[in-house]
Amino acid sequence: MRRGPRGPHLTRRGFLGALATAAGTTVLPGCGALGLDTPPGQTGEALLSARPLPAPYRVPLPRPHTARPTGTVTLPDGTAADLYEITQRAADVEILPGVRTTIWGYDGTLPGPTLETRTGRPVVVRHRNELLVPTVTHLHGGHTPADSDGWPLDLLLPVGGGPPGHHGMPGDLAVGTRDHHYPMTQRAATLWYHDHRMDFTGPAVYRGLLGLHLVRDPEEDALPLPRGDREIPLVLCDRSFDADGQFAYPSLDRSLRRVPGVEAGWTEGVLGDVVLVNGAPWPVAEVDAVRHRLRILNGANARRFALAFQVAGGPDLPVTQIGSDGGLLAAPVERPTVELAPGERCDVVVDLGRVPVDTEVTVVNLLGTGSTRDVLRFRVVRATRDDSAVPAVLSEIEPLVPGPVRREFVFRRGAVADHAGWTINDRSFDPDVPLADVPLGATETWRFRTDVHHPVHLHLDPVQVLARGGRGPGPSDAGWKDTVDLRPGEIVDVAVRFTDHAGRFVLHCHNLEHEDMAMMATIRTVANGA
Ligand code: C2O
Ligand code: CU
Ligand code: CU
């Protein structure tokens, strides 16, 4: 059964009490009988909106706006960096037609502004926190020094200060603003940034703290790929709404300060019933009948996607994958569907010139049911010239050559303190005790094992998938990966090589409810000879 959000005044004690006395009858607003509601292909539980949902494909696909540098700063080593300034603040926006929803957004938008930076040109992103709680900003996929990476305890306290919250062992505290230095010593890729505060990442990202960061480089510029209007970022996520049109999220502690985690019904992950693309519910885009490049991010807390491009009365359109988390693949790969676990990115080219003008191409999630099967629609409106092409060779990828399995990480359910949670090697997140000390420059093989779905994400450097379930890499493992989709009971081996930056980083599950309920580990990279 699906469940609706609880009323705003029910405490956790009240909630558990209600469950105990109700014994399966309906006592909570919008609530059905007890029991798991895990759709196939998902780890998570559906949360039903308490409002009627709008019909799909009525609102235009928005494009996140692009951030512009506000100046230049000189780094300690004398080099110049472009400065970007982003304010984290609440804003009232119209997501469902006719209702205002209060979001937390970078510059007050969902998704936040897209940064477009260039390989080899360092940037400083100055974040200002005008929210009511501390935040931590992480650049996902960034090759970033530890002090700018968004260590989950490097809190940025709101302007004007305020208590850090329950965190017993804060890292580097800042008040009001914090500068993140990104050297951009990495190839072109689709990165994203999002909140990463220990124990409260799920609710903060759900409220809107996520955005894209595209890195561009001359190698990619030289390819005849679709560009300009024909390069479309698609940030996918899912949300549920309460009766007032606010985001419903079953936090144990609505203040997001003290008690981490979600109510017992959603510890597997929160699945919303409204699919947002670039912040709009099931939008539609009018496009020319030409190739388009789609940079797709799964920015959902827990929902997995398997996207198919359906054409009424005809076969599905195939998609050509050209890149993954860490940038271009060596060569394009034709795929019938695009699978994305939370945190993963897929860069594809779809030839909308293969269907006649006036055709609708509907992108559906084969892992969705009911309202979550719909995602977005393209309406092909004009025939026009297409100068783009997908070359047979895109890039060169150095294969990592590792030795035998060096470390194993087991991702599974387990007790965290005295309550149910998620663990890595039977341990809950301990910022002070690394699960591994890894020498910089060494190539190692790591083995991941799981119970249910866990999208495993590693900071600092991307990995290469060597084997999945005793076979070679699967279709979504191509290229450089920073997030690896592990399905129930799967064993995946990856080649890992950290470079340049010594310090503390994290390895964690990117199901944000799992992450907040302690499925994270400290990894320490160590300079050679140290
Ligand atoms: Cu996208 Cu450590 O996170
Ligand atoms: Cu990351
Ligand atoms: Cu997980």
Rounded CA gap, 253 and 166, in Å?
Answer: 12
**Rounded (5°) CA angle 290-296-299:** 155
78 CA → ligand 2 middle, Å:
28
459 CA → ligand 2 middle, Å:
5
Asked whether residue 6 carries a pLDDT value surpassing 50, the answer given is: no
Contact 143, 500 (CB under 8 A): yes
482 CA → ligand 1 middle, Å:
9
Task: Return the bridge partners of 335, or none.
Answer: 319
Look at residue 168 in the predicted model and tell me its pLDDT.
Answer: 63
- Quick one: which atom of ligand 1 is closest to the CA of 343? 1
Q: Is 287 helix (H, G, I), strand (E, B) or coil?
A: strand
Rounded CA gap, 132 and 387, in Å?
Answer: 49
Ligand at minimal distance from the CA of 298 is 1
457 lines ligand 1 (CB under 6 A): yes
- Quick one: which atom of ligand 1 is closest to the CA of 140? 1
Look at residue 167 in the predicted model and tell me its pLDDT.
Answer: 65
213 lines ligand 1 (CB under 6 A): no
138 CA → ligand 2 middle, Å:
6
Q: In whole angstroms, how far apart are CA 304 and each of 288, 365, 369, 453, 457?
A: 29, 9, 12, 9, 15
Closest residue CA from atom 1 of ligand 1: 140
* Segment 210-244, tens digit of pLDDT: 999 999 999 999 999 999 999 999 999 999 999 99
Ligand at minimal distance from the CA of 151 is 1
Look at residue 1 in the predicted model and tell me its pLDDT.
Answer: 35
508 lines ligand 1 (CB under 6 A): yes
Q: In whole angstroms, how far apart are CA 198 and each of 88, 409, 462, 510?
A: 17, 20, 22, 13
Query: In 3D, which of 145, 135, 83 has the Cα closest to residue 106?
Result: 135
What is the token pair recorded at 352? 């909308």
Rounded CA gap, 40 and 367, in Å?
Answer: 7
Contact 313, 249 (CB under 8 A): no
Average pLDDT, the chain: 91
* Listed residues: CB within 5 A of ion ligand 3: 454, 509, 511, 514
428 CA → ligand 2 middle, Å:
18
138 lines ligand 1 (CB under 6 A): yes
Rounded CA gap, 467 and 16, in Å?
Answer: 43
Ligand at minimal distance from the CA of 143 is 2
What is the token pair recorded at 340? 């994305």
196 lines ligand 1 (CB under 6 A): yes
511 CA → ligand 2 middle, Å:
12
* Segment 471-514, tens digit of pLDDT: 999 999 999 999 999 999 999 999 999 999 999 999 999 999 99
Q: Kind and range of the H or E element at 503?
A: strand 503-509
* Segment 66-121, tens digit of pLDDT: 999 999 999 988 999 999 999 999 999 999 999 999 999 999 999 999 999 999 99
Closest residue CA from atom 3 of ligand 1: 140
User: What is the percent of the chain where pLDDT is above 90?
Assistant: 86
* Segment 107-161, tens digit of pLDDT: 999 999 999 999 999 999 999 999 999 999 999 999 999 999 999 999 999 998 7
Contact 338, 307 (CB under 8 A): yes
- Quick one: which atom of ligand 1 is closest to the CA of 141? 1
506 lines ligand 1 (CB under 6 A): yes
Ligand at minimal distance from the CA of 512 is 3
* Segment 275-322, tens digit of pLDDT: 999 999 999 999 999 999 999 999 999 999 999 999 988 999 999 999
> What domains, with CATH codes, occur in the chain?
71-221 (2.60.40.420), 405-526 (2.60.40.420)
What is the token pair recorded at 73? 């700063």
- Quick one: which atom of ligand 1 is closest to the CA of 192? 1
Rounded CA gap, 276 and 88, in Å?
Answer: 20
Rounded CA gap, 442 and 329, in Å?
Answer: 23
197 lines ligand 1 (CB under 6 A): no
Q: Write down the pTM of the prediction.
A: 0.93
CB count in 10 Å sphere of residue 389: 12
- Quick one: which atom of ligand 1 is closest to the CA of 152? 2
357 CA → ligand 1 middle, Å:
40
Ligand at minimal distance from the CA of 152 is 1
* Segment 318-335, tens digit of pLDDT: 999 999 999 999 999 999
* Segment 399-423, tens digit of pLDDT: 999 889 899 999 999 987 777 799 9
**Rounded (5°) CA angle 518-109-274:** 65
Task: Return the bridge partners of 520, or none.
Answer: 508
345 lines ligand 1 (CB under 6 A): no
Ligand at minimal distance from the CA of 448 is 3
Asked whether residue 521 carries a pLDDT value surpassing 50, the answer given is: yes
